[in-house]
Structure 1
Amino acid sequence: MEDKQLASAVQKIFLARTRRGRIFKATVFWITLFVMFVVPLGPLVLYYMWRHGNRIAMEDAADRIAPAEQTTAPEQEAAPPAGVAEQV
């Protein structure tokens, strides 16, 4: 009798006839979705970073340096030396 009860419980779980079955099916669905679509992207991202990572890092470093050079204080207009009169 216990075998039939166990088989019935397992069947209910896998057929989502109970709250536990619905949770189980939802969990299996999300894990499967993650494994099928997100995990395989890992090698592609690693390959992209391996091929283009140095160029991206160099561009990023250049972007950090360039604004620092551009933000230097603007040169003030040079005043004529003392004792020199303006000529009209």
Structure 2
Amino acid sequence: GAVARRDASYEAAKGRLQAVCDDFGAELETPRTEHPSFIDGRTADVVIDGETVGVIGEVHPAVLVEHDLEVPVAAFEFDLDALQK
């Protein structure tokens, strides 16, 4: 999932991810981590029911430029199978 707009933020993306987890009755944790595609300090692992299954964060400005994106982007990706358990 992604949020792409001038006020895109880690918190906005996490809110969307939390809503998905809530719909499936899954417990979400987001411990801080580092990832080259995301801004340092604005990145976390996606941990669902105790298993690390993805990453969430604010996309690094260099990545935005590389892909000709003109607004900030916050995004997450995770293994959907984690919601089926």
TM-score, L = length of structure 1: 0.19
Between Structure 1 and Structure 2, the one with more strand by share is 2
Between Structure 1 and Structure 2, the one with more helix by share is 1
Larger Rg belongs to:
1
TM-score, L = length of structure 2: 0.20
